[in-house]
Amino acid sequence: MSEFKPVRFVDVALEGQFWRERLETVLTRTIPSQHVQLGKQGVLLSLTLPNQSLPLSVPGNEHDSGQVLWDSDAGKWIEAASYALSHRRDPDIEAWIENIVDDLEKAQAPDGYLNCWYLQREPDKRWTNLRDNHELYNLGHLLEGGIAYFLATGRRRLLDILERYVDHVCKTFGPNPGQKRGYCGHQEIELALVKLYRLTGDRMHLDLAAYFMNERGRQPHYFDQEAVERGENPRDFRAKRYEYNQSHRPVREQTKVVGHAVRAMYMLSAMADLAAELNDDSLKKACEVLWADVISSKIYITSGLGPAAANEGFTEDHDLPNDTAYAETCASVGLIFWAHRMLHLELDGRYADVLEQALFNGALTGLSRDGERYFYSNPLESDGRRGRWAWHPCPCCTMNSSRLIASIGGYFVSASENAIAFHLYGGVSTNIQLATGNVFLRETSAYPFFGSIRIEVSPDAPAEFTINLRIPGWAHEAEASVGGCAVDVTACTRNGYLAISRLWNAGDTIALELPISPKRIYAHPSVKQDIGRVALKRGPLVYCVEEVDNPGGAVQQLKLPRDARIKTVERGDLFDGVVTLTASKTKSGETACTGMRPRSFRAAG
């Protein structure tokens, strides 16, 4: 297991334009507008119990209306809003959160149970359908919200409410007589409990997370048993198979990533957390096997996951259609969570490469530049009729975008006792406490568009330690120097990180040059939808071709001969500065592919 721990986002200042802009948009527009939407959609009202006036549920299809998830939407918004408060306090946001906490406090049952849907609709049926109805999932998101709010403000009323609920869950679930041996159909509670354990140090919280993970997929199957207890046929399960929620077999025996993509990513994130906390090699090994599976045959070039809408998830290996790709924003965000945790099991650039790829091409695309419109699915090809939503009946992706961006600083740097590791670049500064004392670091770059990176290293007193710099897998022949003296990058790079160990003095400067040039990327030959097709990447950014840059022709008909030269163009006029690509026409005049922009900056939507 790695000794590295992430440097928290509150300790990392975003100074580069790319991320500063996005963070500001999320803080000033996304978080408040999401609160308005939660009000409009009835989510906030659903927390005020009892409430008979709420227009609840689709007749005859109550559980499928999405309303059983509403507690989670409130929790995710509180989490994102609390990250915003960590950047700067805001009385309006705090008042909105306090109102929600008031409602939850009033709603909580005397025994600690707190699920607003069940308390309002079917109070006698709690814990009777873990397979479908998300009670523990909702608690997980509320818990992440409560933890974030406490860390941002020091206020622990919400956390206290939720700890009472967790105590109730601890009593309800377990191997002892009278307890339920169940677990949630939608994983989430496990990673939230690990977060709670890291805050409280209470072993009971970690043990409960491990219990849920270890029970998953055991026989006799809990979801069969509870269906029989409900008087239902276990086979009468909408998703048909337990692969859907990754409970088809115990997690350590799973060798293929299957089913609903977001559930899979949350589960794998929790498995990596538990592997780290429990020093559990069998869980780490299972994560590595499943990582290899998803990366070798189930991932889009955008790091989108899950091609199918039917199960919101995975199908066959190499089934990666472009126009019907589901590739839910939440799945890419979940992949970032998982990759980040894998990176802290083992400092390996493979994980950081995927994290970065998912961040720029699968997750960021989910939120518009104005911060108020969203993509749920992220197809790689469109006829122009798809645009971003102002909201979605199931708004899971909306708050996944905001909570990711509001805490993005936490993905840049990690530290151990005597080493620092940079995973991402883009203009950050931070103070890190090593065993040898405090070190101030400032990374300056125009990443992801340009690969010239400068890092100022200023320990309070001269000290020996190691700085690890990620050399992305796409960056060949990177060069580095310290104070003008060249570093042998090839000799000093291991697992994608260039390690520079020396006595550092205040004001020392590292220069890192990552060559960024357009590259043609071809899919695995088994991806039949991509035969004869090529994708273009420059650095971490996947590019797209749109009619707005190529007027007068159907972009699907464009051709890019293998010998066509691809040029980069700095466009200061486009989105305050991006780098676009153009390909010149060949002698035969075939190439009409005149303009391509990064996917995150596409005009559509």
Span 329-368, contacts to Zn ion by CB under 5 A: 330
Stretch that binds Zn ion, among 183-191, 205-213, 328-336, 420-428 (CB under 5 A): 328-336
> Which run of H or E residues covers position 225?
helix 222-229
**What is the size of the binding site for Zn ion (CB under 5 A)?**
4
We find the least distance from the C-beta atom of residue 402 to Zn ion, in angstroms, to be 12
We find the least distance from the C-beta atom of residue 331 to Zn ion, in angstroms, to be 7
Integer CA distances (angstroms), 349 to 92, 143, 283, 356, 515, in order: 41, 31, 20, 10, 17
We find the least distance from the C-beta atom of residue 397 to Zn ion, in angstroms, to be 3
* DSSP-assigned letter for residue 411: G
Annotated catalytic residue, options 330, 396, 397, 544 = 396
CB 431 within 8 A of CB 506: no
| Catalytic status, residue 312 | yes
Q: Is the Cβ of residue 191 or residue 535 nearer to Zn ion in the bound state?
A: 191
Contact flag: residue 305 with Zn ion (CB under 5 A): no
Stretch that binds Zn ion, among 146-154, 170-178, 322-330, 441-449 (CB under 5 A): 322-330
We find the least distance from the C-beta atom of residue 381 to Zn ion, in angstroms, to be 20
Stretch that binds Zn ion, among 97-105, 123-131, 326-334, 383-391 (CB under 5 A): 326-334
Q: Is the Cβ of residue 268 or residue 396 nearer to Zn ion in the bound state?
A: 396
The pair of three-digit structure tokens given for residue 56, joined into one six-digit string = 């609840």
The set of long-range contacts for 232-238, using a CB threshold of 8 Å and a minimum separation of 24, is 237/131, 238/132
Q: Which residues contact 582 (CB under 8 A, 6 or more apart)?
A: 566, 567, 569, 593, 594, 595, 596
Rounded CA gap, 215 and 218, in Å? 6
Burial (CB count within 10 angstroms: exposed 0-12, middle 13-18, buried 19+), residue 492: middle
Q: Is the Cβ of residue 401 or residue 493 nearer to Zn ion in the bound state?
A: 401
Residue whose beta carbon is closest to Zn ion: 330
| Catalytic status, residue 394 | no
Q: Is the Cβ of residue 194 or residue 397 nearer to Zn ion in the bound state?
A: 397
| CA geometry: angle 136, 275, 201, nearest 5 deg | 65
Backbone angles phi, psi at 533, to 5 degrees: -115, 155
We find the least distance from the C-beta atom of residue 335 to Zn ion, in angstroms, to be 12
Rounded CA gap, 368 and 42, in Å? 24
Span 384-443, contacts to Zn ion by CB under 5 A: 396-397
We find the least distance from the C-beta atom of residue 31 to Zn ion, in angstroms, to be 18
Q: How many other CB atoms are there within 10 angstroms of residue 574's CB atom?
A: 16
Annotated catalytic residue, options 79, 226, 312, 328 = 312
Would the CA dihedral through 55, 60, 63, 66 be positive or negative? Answer: negative
We find the least distance from the C-beta atom of residue 413 to Zn ion, in angstroms, to be 28
Q: Is the Cβ of residue 143 or residue 396 nearer to Zn ion in the bound state?
A: 396
CB 177 within 8 A of CB 126: no
Q: Is the Cβ of residue 16 or residue 605 nearer to Zn ion in the bound state?
A: 605
Q: How many CA atoms lie within 13 A of 558 on its CB side?
A: 26
Residue-wise burial string across 175-201, b where 16 or more C-beta atoms lie within 10 A, e elsewhere: eeeeebebbbbbbbbbbbbbbbbebee
Could you tell me whether strands 541-545 and 479-482 are parallel, antiparallel, or unpaired per DSSP bridges?
unpaired
Integer CA distances (angstroms), 276 to 197, 204, 281, in order: 13, 17, 9
We find the least distance from the C-beta atom of residue 22 to Zn ion, in angstroms, to be 19
Q: Is the Cβ of residue 397 or residue 542 nearer to Zn ion in the bound state?
A: 397
Would the CA dihedral through 553, 556, 562, 568 be positive or negative? Answer: positive
Q: Is the Cβ of residue 337 or residue 497 nearer to Zn ion in the bound state?
A: 337
Span 540-579, contacts to Zn ion by CB under 5 A: none
Q: How many other CB atoms are there within 10 angstroms of residue 94's CB atom?
A: 17
Task: Point out the residues that are catalytic.
Answer: 312, 396
Residues that bind Zn ion (CB under 5 A): 328, 330, 396-397
